[in-house]
Amino acid sequence: MKKGGAFLTTPFGVDEIFTREKWSDDQNEFFEAISDFAAEVIAPRVDDIEKLDEKLTRDLMSQMGEMGMLGMDVPEKYGGMGLDKTAAALALEAMGKSASSSLMVTATDHTGIGLLPILWYGNEEQREKYIPKMITGEWMSSFALTEPGAGSDALNGTASAKLNDEGTHYLLNGVKQFVTNGSWADIGIVFAKVDGEKLTAFILDQETTGWERGPEEHKLGIKGSSTTTYILKDCKVPIENVIGNVGQGPAVAFNCLYIGRLKLGAVTMGGAKQAMKTALDYAKERQQFAQPLTAFGMMQRKFADMVIRCYEADTITYQSTGSIDAGTEKFPEDDPKYYDHLYAVIEDHAIENSTNKIFSSEALWTNADDGLQILGGYGFSEEYPFARILRDERVNRIFEGTNEINKLIISGIALKKAILEELPIREQILELGENWMPAVEVADDHPAAQEIKAVELGRGIVLKTLNELILKHGQDFKNTQFEIEAFADMVIAQQVIFSVLRRYLQLDESHPRRDVVGSVLRVSVLRNLEVIVSNAKKIMRHILDEDDRDAKLGRLEEALSQLAYHADVIKEQELVFQLLLKRGEYPLND
Protein backbone atom coordinates (compact mmCIF):
# COMPACT_ATOMS: atom_id res chain seq x y z
CA MET A 1 0.00 0.00 0.00
CA LYS A 2 1.34 3.41 -0.91
CA LYS A 3 -1.77 5.58 -1.25
CA GLY A 4 -3.20 7.63 1.60
CA GLY A 5 -6.66 6.51 2.74
CA ALA A 6 -6.40 3.27 0.76
CA PHE A 7 -7.77 1.29 3.72
CA LEU A 8 -11.18 2.74 2.82
CA THR A 9 -11.20 1.16 -0.64
CA THR A 10 -8.89 -1.85 -0.47
CA PRO A 11 -10.93 -5.08 -0.40
CA PHE A 12 -9.93 -8.31 1.29
CA GLY A 13 -7.18 -10.19 -0.52
CA VAL A 14 -5.58 -7.12 -2.10
CA ASP A 15 -2.24 -5.80 -0.81
CA GLU A 16 -0.33 -6.48 2.36
CA ILE A 17 0.47 -3.84 4.94
CA PHE A 18 3.75 -3.05 6.62
CA THR A 19 4.04 -4.18 10.26
CA ARG A 20 6.78 -4.43 12.85
CA GLU A 21 7.18 -8.11 11.93
CA LYS A 22 8.72 -6.82 8.67
CA TRP A 23 11.41 -4.77 10.38
CA SER A 24 14.91 -5.45 9.11
CA ASP A 25 17.66 -6.72 11.40
CA ASP A 26 19.15 -3.22 11.39
CA GLN A 27 15.84 -1.71 12.45
CA ASN A 28 15.48 -4.20 15.30
CA GLU A 29 19.00 -3.46 16.49
CA PHE A 30 18.35 0.30 16.30
CA PHE A 31 15.18 -0.13 18.33
CA GLU A 32 17.00 -2.10 21.02
CA ALA A 33 19.87 0.38 21.20
CA ILE A 34 17.54 3.33 21.70
CA SER A 35 15.41 1.39 24.19
CA ASP A 36 18.52 0.68 26.25
CA PHE A 37 19.65 4.30 26.09
CA ALA A 38 16.21 5.54 27.13
CA ALA A 39 15.94 3.11 30.05
CA GLU A 40 19.52 3.32 31.29
CA VAL A 41 20.50 6.95 30.64
CA ILE A 42 17.32 9.03 30.62
CA ALA A 43 14.86 7.22 32.90
CA PRO A 44 17.08 7.52 36.03
CA ARG A 45 17.19 11.31 35.51
CA VAL A 46 13.43 11.91 35.15
CA ASP A 47 13.07 13.74 38.48
CA ASP A 48 16.00 16.02 37.61
CA ILE A 49 14.59 16.74 34.15
CA GLU A 50 11.31 17.80 35.76
CA LYS A 51 13.16 20.61 37.57
CA LEU A 52 13.42 22.48 34.23
CA ASP A 53 17.15 21.90 34.10
CA GLU A 54 18.38 23.39 30.81
CA LYS A 55 21.95 22.17 31.23
CA LEU A 56 20.85 18.57 31.83
CA THR A 57 18.38 18.70 28.96
CA ARG A 58 21.03 20.02 26.57
CA ASP A 59 23.46 17.35 27.73
CA LEU A 60 20.93 14.59 27.06
CA MET A 61 20.08 16.15 23.70
CA SER A 62 23.79 16.11 22.81
CA GLN A 63 23.97 12.42 23.69
CA MET A 64 20.92 11.80 21.50
CA GLY A 65 22.71 13.72 18.76
CA GLU A 66 25.78 11.49 19.10
CA MET A 67 23.54 8.46 18.59
CA GLY A 68 22.04 10.01 15.46
CA MET A 69 18.61 10.40 17.00
CA LEU A 70 18.30 14.12 16.21
CA GLY A 71 18.93 13.56 12.52
CA MET A 72 17.26 10.26 11.79
CA ASP A 73 15.38 11.38 8.69
CA VAL A 74 17.94 14.05 7.68
CA PRO A 75 19.99 13.11 4.60
CA GLU A 76 23.60 12.04 5.13
CA LYS A 77 24.86 15.04 3.12
CA TYR A 78 23.81 17.27 6.05
CA GLY A 79 25.21 14.89 8.66
CA GLY A 80 22.04 12.91 9.29
CA MET A 81 21.28 9.20 9.09
CA GLY A 82 18.94 9.38 6.09
CA LEU A 83 16.48 6.90 7.56
CA ASP A 84 12.91 6.35 6.44
CA LYS A 85 9.76 7.25 8.37
CA THR A 86 9.46 3.75 9.82
CA ALA A 87 12.91 3.98 11.42
CA ALA A 88 12.06 7.42 12.80
CA ALA A 89 8.81 6.09 14.27
CA LEU A 90 10.37 3.04 15.88
CA ALA A 91 13.01 5.23 17.51
CA LEU A 92 10.30 7.46 18.96
CA GLU A 93 8.42 4.40 20.23
CA ALA A 94 11.61 3.12 21.86
CA MET A 95 12.06 6.43 23.66
CA GLY A 96 8.90 5.60 25.60
CA LYS A 97 11.17 3.66 27.96
CA SER A 98 12.69 6.99 29.04
CA ALA A 99 9.49 7.73 31.01
CA SER A 100 10.23 11.43 30.38
CA SER A 101 7.47 13.17 28.48
CA SER A 102 9.23 16.48 29.07
CA LEU A 103 12.40 15.44 27.26
CA MET A 104 10.37 13.83 24.49
CA VAL A 105 8.48 17.08 23.93
CA THR A 106 11.74 19.03 23.82
CA ALA A 107 13.38 16.61 21.39
CA THR A 108 10.45 15.96 19.06
CA ASP A 109 9.62 19.63 18.64
CA HIS A 110 13.30 20.28 17.90
CA THR A 111 13.66 17.48 15.33
CA GLY A 112 10.18 17.83 13.84
CA ILE A 113 8.49 21.18 13.41
CA GLY A 114 11.67 22.94 14.54
CA LEU A 115 13.89 21.38 11.86
CA LEU A 116 11.73 20.14 8.98
CA PRO A 117 10.71 23.59 7.69
CA ILE A 118 14.39 24.31 6.95
CA LEU A 119 15.07 20.82 5.59
CA TRP A 120 12.00 20.64 3.37
CA TYR A 121 11.50 24.24 2.29
CA GLY A 122 14.81 25.95 2.99
CA ASN A 123 17.51 26.62 0.43
CA GLU A 124 20.93 24.98 0.42
CA GLU A 125 22.59 27.84 2.29
CA GLN A 126 20.00 27.61 5.09
CA ARG A 127 20.29 23.83 5.33
CA GLU A 128 24.09 23.90 5.45
CA LYS A 129 24.13 26.72 8.01
CA TYR A 130 21.60 25.39 10.50
CA ILE A 131 20.95 21.67 10.15
CA PRO A 132 24.41 20.25 11.04
CA LYS A 133 24.38 22.07 14.39
CA MET A 134 20.75 21.15 15.03
CA ILE A 135 21.26 17.42 14.60
CA THR A 136 24.19 17.37 17.05
CA GLY A 137 22.15 19.17 19.68
CA GLU A 138 24.49 22.17 19.69
CA TRP A 139 21.60 24.41 18.58
CA MET A 140 18.05 23.90 19.81
CA SER A 141 15.08 24.91 17.67
CA SER A 142 11.50 26.00 18.23
CA PHE A 143 8.32 26.55 16.21
CA ALA A 144 6.14 29.62 16.75
CA LEU A 145 2.79 29.63 14.96
CA THR A 146 0.15 29.96 17.71
CA GLU A 147 -0.89 33.41 18.92
CA PRO A 148 -3.09 34.57 21.81
CA GLY A 149 -5.98 35.14 19.42
CA ALA A 150 -5.20 32.36 16.93
CA GLY A 151 -4.86 28.81 18.22
CA SER A 152 -6.58 26.17 16.11
CA ASP A 153 -7.43 29.01 13.70
CA ALA A 154 -3.73 29.42 13.00
CA LEU A 155 -4.10 31.32 9.73
CA ASN A 156 -5.93 34.11 11.55
CA GLY A 157 -2.79 35.31 13.34
CA THR A 158 -1.89 38.98 13.36
CA ALA A 159 1.92 38.92 13.67
CA SER A 160 3.23 41.13 10.88
CA ALA A 161 6.35 41.33 8.74
CA LYS A 162 7.30 44.47 6.84
CA LEU A 163 10.25 44.85 4.50
CA ASN A 164 12.51 47.73 5.55
CA ASP A 165 13.26 50.65 3.23
CA GLU A 166 16.64 49.21 2.32
CA GLY A 167 15.06 45.92 1.26
CA THR A 168 17.53 43.95 3.39
CA HIS A 169 15.46 42.87 6.41
CA TYR A 170 11.91 42.14 7.48
CA LEU A 171 10.71 43.76 10.67
CA LEU A 172 8.48 41.36 12.60
CA ASN A 173 6.00 42.50 15.22
CA GLY A 174 3.56 40.48 17.30
CA VAL A 175 3.28 37.85 20.01
CA LYS A 176 3.62 34.09 19.67
CA GLN A 177 2.26 31.86 22.41
CA PHE A 178 2.93 28.39 23.86
CA VAL A 179 6.31 28.04 22.15
CA THR A 180 7.96 24.76 23.12
CA ASN A 181 11.69 25.18 23.87
CA GLY A 182 10.90 28.89 24.06
CA SER A 183 13.44 30.08 26.61
CA TRP A 184 16.18 27.66 25.50
CA ALA A 185 15.95 27.87 21.72
CA ASP A 186 18.84 29.11 19.62
CA ILE A 187 16.60 29.06 16.54
CA GLY A 188 12.98 30.04 16.07
CA ILE A 189 10.79 29.09 13.11
CA VAL A 190 8.39 32.02 13.29
CA PHE A 191 5.36 32.81 11.12
CA ALA A 192 4.19 36.33 10.30
CA LYS A 193 2.14 37.99 7.58
CA VAL A 194 3.90 40.05 4.95
CA ASP A 195 1.78 43.03 3.87
CA GLY A 196 -0.91 41.87 6.27
CA GLU A 197 -1.95 38.81 4.28
CA LYS A 198 0.94 36.64 3.03
CA LEU A 199 1.76 34.23 5.86
CA THR A 200 5.48 33.53 5.66
CA ALA A 201 7.98 31.45 7.64
CA PHE A 202 11.18 33.06 8.95
CA ILE A 203 14.31 31.77 10.70
CA LEU A 204 15.29 33.65 13.85
CA ASP A 205 18.71 32.91 15.28
CA GLN A 206 21.23 34.17 17.83
CA GLU A 207 22.02 37.22 15.70
CA THR A 208 18.39 38.33 15.55
CA THR A 209 17.54 41.56 17.40
CA GLY A 210 14.09 42.43 18.73
CA TRP A 211 13.35 38.82 19.71
CA GLU A 212 12.29 38.64 23.35
CA ARG A 213 11.17 35.64 25.44
CA GLY A 214 8.37 35.80 27.96
CA PRO A 215 8.41 34.00 31.33
CA GLU A 216 7.91 30.24 31.60
CA GLU A 217 4.30 29.10 31.43
CA HIS A 218 2.96 27.43 34.59
CA LYS A 219 1.73 24.20 33.01
CA LEU A 220 -0.35 21.26 34.16
CA GLY A 221 2.35 18.83 33.02
CA ILE A 222 5.56 18.41 31.01
CA LYS A 223 7.13 20.70 33.60
CA GLY A 224 10.65 19.79 32.53
CA SER A 225 10.16 21.36 29.10
CA SER A 226 10.37 25.07 28.37
CA THR A 227 7.21 26.83 27.17
CA THR A 228 7.12 30.61 26.72
CA THR A 229 5.79 33.40 24.58
CA TYR A 230 7.85 35.17 21.94
CA ILE A 231 7.53 38.94 21.83
CA LEU A 232 8.58 40.39 18.48
CA LYS A 233 9.37 44.11 18.58
CA ASP A 234 10.71 45.28 15.23
CA CYS A 235 12.43 41.91 15.18
CA LYS A 236 15.03 42.32 12.43
CA VAL A 237 15.26 39.26 10.16
CA PRO A 238 17.45 39.27 7.02
CA ILE A 239 15.68 38.46 3.77
CA GLU A 240 18.02 35.46 3.48
CA ASN A 241 16.14 33.93 6.43
CA VAL A 242 12.78 33.63 4.67
CA ILE A 243 11.91 29.92 4.41
CA GLY A 244 10.63 29.07 0.94
CA ASN A 245 8.74 31.91 -0.71
CA VAL A 246 6.84 34.84 0.72
CA GLY A 247 3.27 33.62 1.26
CA GLN A 248 4.26 29.95 1.47
CA GLY A 249 3.84 29.86 5.24
CA PRO A 250 0.64 27.77 5.30
CA ALA A 251 2.28 24.96 3.32
CA VAL A 252 5.41 25.11 5.47
CA ALA A 253 3.40 24.95 8.69
CA PHE A 254 0.77 22.40 7.78
CA ASN A 255 2.94 19.89 5.91
CA CYS A 256 5.39 19.80 8.80
CA LEU A 257 2.48 19.39 11.21
CA TYR A 258 1.14 16.47 9.13
CA ILE A 259 4.24 14.35 9.74
CA GLY A 260 4.43 15.66 13.30
CA ARG A 261 1.05 14.05 13.96
CA LEU A 262 2.26 10.69 12.75
CA LYS A 263 5.39 10.97 14.88
CA LEU A 264 3.34 11.98 17.92
CA GLY A 265 1.32 8.83 17.32
CA ALA A 266 4.52 6.79 17.59
CA VAL A 267 5.60 8.65 20.74
CA THR A 268 2.27 8.13 22.50
CA MET A 269 2.05 4.50 21.39
CA GLY A 270 5.42 3.88 23.05
CA GLY A 271 4.24 5.79 26.09
CA ALA A 272 1.10 3.65 26.31
CA LYS A 273 3.24 0.52 26.46
CA GLN A 274 5.46 2.01 29.15
CA ALA A 275 2.49 3.16 31.24
CA MET A 276 1.14 -0.38 31.16
CA LYS A 277 4.45 -1.84 32.32
CA THR A 278 4.69 0.69 35.16
CA ALA A 279 1.24 -0.32 36.38
CA LEU A 280 1.99 -4.03 35.98
CA ASP A 281 5.22 -3.82 37.99
CA TYR A 282 3.25 -2.29 40.85
CA ALA A 283 0.31 -4.68 40.60
CA LYS A 284 2.51 -7.78 40.79
CA GLU A 285 3.99 -6.62 44.09
CA ARG A 286 0.97 -4.97 45.73
CA GLN A 287 -0.90 -7.40 48.01
CA GLN A 288 -4.57 -7.06 48.94
CA PHE A 289 -6.64 -9.78 50.64
CA ALA A 290 -3.46 -11.91 50.70
CA GLN A 291 -3.17 -11.85 46.90
CA PRO A 292 -1.34 -9.67 44.37
CA LEU A 293 -3.53 -7.22 42.46
CA THR A 294 -2.88 -9.23 39.31
CA ALA A 295 -5.00 -12.06 40.77
CA PHE A 296 -8.20 -10.01 40.50
CA GLY A 297 -10.38 -10.14 37.41
CA MET A 298 -11.13 -6.43 37.21
CA MET A 299 -7.42 -5.67 37.22
CA GLN A 300 -6.80 -8.37 34.62
CA ARG A 301 -9.48 -6.84 32.40
CA LYS A 302 -7.83 -3.42 32.59
CA PHE A 303 -4.45 -4.88 31.69
CA ALA A 304 -5.86 -6.91 28.79
CA ASP A 305 -7.49 -3.81 27.34
CA MET A 306 -4.20 -1.92 27.71
CA VAL A 307 -2.49 -4.59 25.60
CA ILE A 308 -5.25 -4.46 22.99
CA ARG A 309 -5.08 -0.66 22.70
CA CYS A 310 -1.28 -0.83 22.38
CA TYR A 311 -1.48 -3.49 19.67
CA GLU A 312 -4.02 -1.47 17.70
CA ALA A 313 -1.91 1.70 17.99
CA ASP A 314 1.27 -0.17 17.06
CA THR A 315 -0.40 -1.70 14.01
CA ILE A 316 -1.79 1.51 12.52
CA THR A 317 1.50 3.33 13.22
CA TYR A 318 3.61 1.01 11.10
CA GLN A 319 0.88 0.44 8.52
CA SER A 320 1.00 4.21 7.97
CA THR A 321 4.78 4.68 7.98
CA GLY A 322 5.15 1.71 5.67
CA SER A 323 2.67 3.21 3.22
CA ILE A 324 4.49 6.57 3.25
CA ASP A 325 7.86 4.87 2.79
CA ALA A 326 6.49 2.83 -0.12
CA GLY A 327 5.17 6.02 -1.69
CA THR A 328 8.54 7.80 -1.49
CA GLU A 329 11.04 5.01 -2.15
CA LYS A 330 11.07 5.62 -5.91
CA PHE A 331 12.38 9.17 -5.46
CA PRO A 332 16.18 9.42 -4.98
CA GLU A 333 17.37 11.91 -2.37
CA ASP A 334 19.53 13.68 -4.95
CA ASP A 335 16.45 14.51 -7.03
CA PRO A 336 16.12 18.32 -6.92
CA LYS A 337 12.38 17.82 -6.40
CA TYR A 338 12.81 15.17 -3.69
CA TYR A 339 11.23 17.23 -0.91
CA ASP A 340 8.34 18.24 -3.17
CA HIS A 341 7.67 14.54 -3.71
CA LEU A 342 8.13 13.73 -0.02
CA TYR A 343 5.67 16.19 1.42
CA ALA A 344 3.21 15.45 -1.38
CA VAL A 345 3.16 11.82 -0.21
CA ILE A 346 2.90 12.88 3.43
CA GLU A 347 0.03 15.26 2.63
CA ASP A 348 -1.67 12.45 0.71
CA HIS A 349 -1.58 10.47 3.99
CA ALA A 350 -3.25 13.25 5.98
CA ILE A 351 -5.99 10.85 7.10
CA GLU A 352 -3.47 8.37 8.51
CA ASN A 353 -1.42 11.11 10.15
CA SER A 354 -4.50 12.33 12.00
CA THR A 355 -5.94 8.92 12.85
CA ASN A 356 -2.63 7.90 14.40
CA LYS A 357 -2.38 11.07 16.44
CA ILE A 358 -5.94 10.74 17.74
CA PHE A 359 -5.98 7.01 18.43
CA SER A 360 -2.57 6.72 20.08
CA SER A 361 -2.93 9.85 22.21
CA GLU A 362 -6.27 8.57 23.49
CA ALA A 363 -4.82 5.08 24.03
CA LEU A 364 -2.05 6.56 26.17
CA TRP A 365 -4.50 8.72 28.12
CA THR A 366 -6.73 5.72 28.86
CA ASN A 367 -3.79 3.51 29.80
CA ALA A 368 -2.49 6.24 32.11
CA ASP A 369 -5.91 6.67 33.70
CA ASP A 370 -6.34 2.91 34.16
CA GLY A 371 -2.82 2.70 35.55
CA LEU A 372 -3.57 5.35 38.15
CA GLN A 373 -6.75 3.48 39.09
CA ILE A 374 -4.79 0.26 39.56
CA LEU A 375 -2.50 2.03 42.02
CA GLY A 376 -5.50 3.33 43.91
CA GLY A 377 -4.62 5.97 46.50
CA TYR A 378 -0.94 5.67 45.67
CA GLY A 379 -1.75 6.58 42.09
CA PHE A 380 -3.01 9.94 43.34
CA SER A 381 0.21 10.59 45.23
CA GLU A 382 3.08 12.56 43.74
CA GLU A 383 5.40 10.00 45.36
CA TYR A 384 4.38 7.54 42.64
CA PRO A 385 4.72 8.05 38.88
CA PHE A 386 1.12 8.07 37.68
CA ALA A 387 0.24 11.53 38.94
CA ARG A 388 3.00 12.90 36.71
CA ILE A 389 2.19 10.52 33.84
CA LEU A 390 -1.45 11.59 33.79
CA ARG A 391 -0.58 15.29 33.96
CA ASP A 392 2.03 14.98 31.23
CA GLU A 393 -0.09 12.99 28.82
CA ARG A 394 -3.11 15.28 28.82
CA VAL A 395 -1.43 17.68 26.40
CA ASN A 396 -1.06 15.06 23.67
CA ARG A 397 -4.71 15.50 22.69
CA ILE A 398 -3.96 19.21 22.16
CA PHE A 399 -0.50 19.13 20.54
CA GLU A 400 -0.09 19.04 16.75
CA GLY A 401 -3.67 20.22 16.27
CA THR A 402 -6.31 19.24 18.81
CA ASN A 403 -7.98 15.90 18.30
CA GLU A 404 -11.10 17.80 17.26
CA ILE A 405 -9.17 19.64 14.53
CA ASN A 406 -7.76 16.32 13.38
CA LYS A 407 -11.27 14.89 13.08
CA LEU A 408 -12.12 17.80 10.81
CA ILE A 409 -9.09 16.86 8.70
CA ILE A 410 -10.04 13.17 8.51
CA SER A 411 -13.57 13.84 7.29
CA GLY A 412 -12.51 16.71 5.04
CA ILE A 413 -9.81 14.68 3.30
CA ALA A 414 -12.16 11.70 2.88
CA LEU A 415 -14.67 14.05 1.23
CA LYS A 416 -11.95 15.49 -1.03
CA LYS A 417 -10.67 12.06 -2.08
CA ALA A 418 -14.21 10.99 -2.95
CA ILE A 419 -15.17 14.09 -4.94
CA LEU A 420 -11.84 14.35 -6.79
CA GLU A 421 -11.78 10.57 -7.29
CA GLU A 422 -8.32 10.27 -5.78
CA LEU A 423 -9.58 6.93 -4.47
CA PRO A 424 -12.26 4.75 -6.14
CA ILE A 425 -14.77 5.66 -3.42
CA ARG A 426 -17.65 6.62 -5.72
CA GLU A 427 -17.01 3.58 -7.94
CA GLN A 428 -17.25 1.26 -4.95
CA ILE A 429 -20.36 3.01 -3.65
CA LEU A 430 -22.03 2.38 -7.02
CA GLU A 431 -20.98 -1.28 -6.84
CA LEU A 432 -22.63 -1.60 -3.43
CA GLY A 433 -25.98 -0.41 -4.72
CA GLU A 434 -28.49 -0.95 -1.92
CA ASN A 435 -26.21 -3.44 -0.16
CA TRP A 436 -24.08 -2.62 2.86
CA MET A 437 -21.73 -5.59 2.49
CA PRO A 438 -19.16 -5.47 -0.33
CA ALA A 439 -18.70 -8.64 -2.32
CA VAL A 440 -16.14 -10.78 -0.52
CA GLU A 441 -14.84 -14.19 -1.46
CA VAL A 442 -13.66 -16.15 1.54
CA ALA A 443 -14.07 -19.84 2.32
CA ASP A 444 -16.47 -20.58 5.17
CA ASP A 445 -13.82 -22.76 6.83
CA HIS A 446 -11.23 -19.95 6.80
CA PRO A 447 -10.16 -19.51 10.46
CA ALA A 448 -10.82 -15.75 10.25
CA ALA A 449 -13.81 -15.86 7.90
CA GLN A 450 -16.11 -13.99 10.27
CA GLU A 451 -13.51 -11.32 11.01
CA ILE A 452 -12.88 -10.82 7.29
CA LYS A 453 -16.59 -10.39 6.64
CA ALA A 454 -16.98 -8.06 9.61
CA VAL A 455 -14.13 -5.81 8.44
CA GLU A 456 -15.56 -5.72 4.92
CA LEU A 457 -18.99 -4.86 6.28
CA GLY A 458 -17.40 -2.06 8.28
CA ARG A 459 -15.81 -0.75 5.10
CA GLY A 460 -19.14 -0.87 3.29
CA ILE A 461 -20.86 1.01 6.12
CA VAL A 462 -18.20 3.74 6.08
CA LEU A 463 -18.47 4.16 2.30
CA LYS A 464 -22.28 4.24 2.24
CA THR A 465 -22.41 6.68 5.13
CA LEU A 466 -19.99 8.98 3.30
CA ASN A 467 -22.20 8.75 0.24
CA GLU A 468 -25.28 9.75 2.22
CA LEU A 469 -23.41 12.69 3.72
CA ILE A 470 -22.32 13.87 0.27
CA LEU A 471 -25.86 13.51 -1.09
CA LYS A 472 -27.21 15.49 1.85
CA HIS A 473 -24.61 18.21 2.21
CA GLY A 474 -22.26 18.14 -0.78
CA GLN A 475 -19.14 20.11 0.03
CA ASP A 476 -21.01 21.74 2.91
CA PHE A 477 -20.37 18.47 4.78
CA LYS A 478 -17.19 20.15 6.04
CA ASN A 479 -19.37 22.59 8.00
CA THR A 480 -21.46 19.98 9.84
CA GLN A 481 -19.35 19.19 12.87
CA PHE A 482 -21.73 16.80 14.62
CA GLU A 483 -21.65 14.56 11.55
CA ILE A 484 -17.94 15.19 10.93
CA GLU A 485 -17.00 13.94 14.38
CA ALA A 486 -19.14 10.82 14.11
CA PHE A 487 -17.83 10.02 10.62
CA ALA A 488 -14.21 10.56 11.67
CA ASP A 489 -14.72 8.08 14.52
CA MET A 490 -15.96 5.58 11.93
CA VAL A 491 -12.88 6.10 9.75
CA ILE A 492 -10.51 5.64 12.70
CA ALA A 493 -12.27 2.44 13.75
CA GLN A 494 -12.15 1.10 10.19
CA GLN A 495 -8.42 1.76 9.84
CA VAL A 496 -7.82 -0.09 13.11
CA ILE A 497 -9.68 -3.26 12.15
CA PHE A 498 -8.48 -3.15 8.53
CA SER A 499 -4.89 -3.09 9.78
CA VAL A 500 -5.20 -5.48 12.73
CA LEU A 501 -6.90 -8.08 10.50
CA ARG A 502 -4.20 -7.91 7.85
CA ARG A 503 -1.43 -8.04 10.41
CA TYR A 504 -2.95 -11.20 11.87
CA LEU A 505 -3.39 -12.81 8.45
CA GLN A 506 0.22 -11.99 7.54
CA LEU A 507 1.62 -13.80 10.60
CA ASP A 508 3.22 -17.14 9.92
CA GLU A 509 1.07 -19.96 11.30
CA SER A 510 4.00 -21.02 13.47
CA HIS A 511 4.25 -17.60 15.12
CA PRO A 512 4.48 -18.35 18.87
CA ARG A 513 1.86 -15.78 19.89
CA ARG A 514 -0.52 -16.03 16.95
CA ASP A 515 -3.29 -17.37 19.18
CA VAL A 516 -3.15 -14.32 21.44
CA VAL A 517 -3.03 -11.99 18.43
CA GLY A 518 -6.19 -13.77 17.32
CA SER A 519 -7.76 -12.89 20.65
CA VAL A 520 -6.78 -9.25 20.18
CA LEU A 521 -8.21 -9.32 16.67
CA ARG A 522 -11.59 -10.66 17.76
CA VAL A 523 -12.04 -8.10 20.54
CA SER A 524 -10.84 -5.29 18.27
CA VAL A 525 -13.22 -6.22 15.46
CA LEU A 526 -16.20 -6.53 17.79
CA ARG A 527 -15.60 -3.18 19.51
CA ASN A 528 -14.67 -1.18 16.44
CA LEU A 529 -17.51 -2.56 14.36
CA GLU A 530 -19.82 -1.38 17.13
CA VAL A 531 -18.27 2.10 16.83
CA ILE A 532 -18.84 2.10 13.08
CA VAL A 533 -22.42 0.87 13.30
CA SER A 534 -23.50 3.15 16.15
CA ASN A 535 -22.11 6.26 14.46
CA ALA A 536 -23.59 5.30 11.09
CA LYS A 537 -27.01 4.94 12.70
CA LYS A 538 -26.59 8.27 14.49
CA ILE A 539 -25.79 10.02 11.21
CA MET A 540 -28.57 8.29 9.23
CA ARG A 541 -31.19 9.10 11.84
CA HIS A 542 -30.21 12.75 11.60
CA ILE A 543 -29.85 13.32 7.85
CA LEU A 544 -32.47 11.00 6.28
CA ASP A 545 -36.20 11.48 6.13
CA GLU A 546 -38.30 8.89 7.93
CA ASP A 547 -39.12 6.56 5.03
CA ASP A 548 -35.62 6.60 3.58
CA ARG A 549 -34.11 6.15 7.03
CA ASP A 550 -36.28 3.16 7.90
CA ALA A 551 -35.55 1.42 4.59
CA LYS A 552 -31.78 1.92 4.70
CA LEU A 553 -31.35 1.16 8.36
CA GLY A 554 -33.54 -1.90 7.89
CA ARG A 555 -31.13 -3.19 5.25
CA LEU A 556 -28.22 -2.45 7.57
CA GLU A 557 -29.87 -4.51 10.31
CA GLU A 558 -30.33 -7.36 7.83
CA ALA A 559 -26.62 -7.25 6.94
CA LEU A 560 -25.66 -7.28 10.61
CA SER A 561 -28.05 -10.14 11.29
CA GLN A 562 -26.63 -12.17 8.43
CA LEU A 563 -23.10 -11.57 9.68
CA ALA A 564 -24.05 -12.35 13.30
CA TYR A 565 -20.58 -11.48 14.49
CA HIS A 566 -19.79 -12.19 18.12
CA ALA A 567 -16.75 -12.79 20.30
CA ASP A 568 -16.29 -14.15 23.82
CA VAL A 569 -14.61 -10.96 25.05
CA ILE A 570 -13.97 -12.21 28.60
CA LYS A 571 -12.28 -15.39 27.34
CA GLU A 572 -10.11 -13.39 24.94
CA GLN A 573 -9.16 -10.88 27.62
CA GLU A 574 -8.13 -13.69 29.97
CA LEU A 575 -5.79 -15.13 27.32
CA VAL A 576 -4.27 -11.72 26.59
CA PHE A 577 -3.69 -11.00 30.27
CA GLN A 578 -2.02 -14.35 30.96
CA LEU A 579 0.54 -13.68 28.23
CA LEU A 580 1.17 -10.19 29.62
CA LEU A 581 1.68 -11.58 33.12
CA LYS A 582 4.05 -14.25 31.82
CA ARG A 583 6.22 -11.80 29.87
CA GLY A 584 6.11 -8.93 32.35
CA GLU A 585 5.77 -6.18 29.75
CA TYR A 586 3.91 -5.46 26.53
CA PRO A 587 4.02 -8.99 25.09
CA LEU A 588 3.50 -8.55 21.34
CA ASN A 589 6.59 -6.66 20.20
CA ASP A 590 8.08 -9.85 18.75
Nearest to 205 by CA among 246, 164, 235: 235
CA–CA dist 298, 93 (Å, integer): 28
E strand intervals along 196-303: 198-204, 209-213, 227-238, 242-243, 287-288, 291-292
E strand intervals along 464-538: none
Q: Are 417 and 349 in contact (CB under 8 A)?
A: no
CA–CA dist 470, 70 (Å, integer): 44
CA–CA dist 348, 324 (Å, integer): 9
Q: Are 500 and 13 in contact (CB under 8 A)?
A: no
Active site residue ranges: 400
Bridge partners (DSSP) of residue 174 are 232
Give first-to-last CA distance, the chain, whole Å: 23
User: How do 209-213 and 160-163 pair as beta strands?
Assistant: unpaired
- CB-count exposure of residue 157 (10 Å: 0-12, 13-18, 19+): buried
Give ∠ CA 359-36-500 in degrees, rounded to 5. 30
CA–CA dist 573, 301 (Å, integer): 6
SS3 60: helix
CA–CA dist 329, 199 (Å, integer): 32
CA–CA dist 250, 375 (Å, integer): 45
Q: Are 197 and 142 in contact (CB under 8 A)?
A: no
CA–CA dist 342, 365 (Å, integer): 31
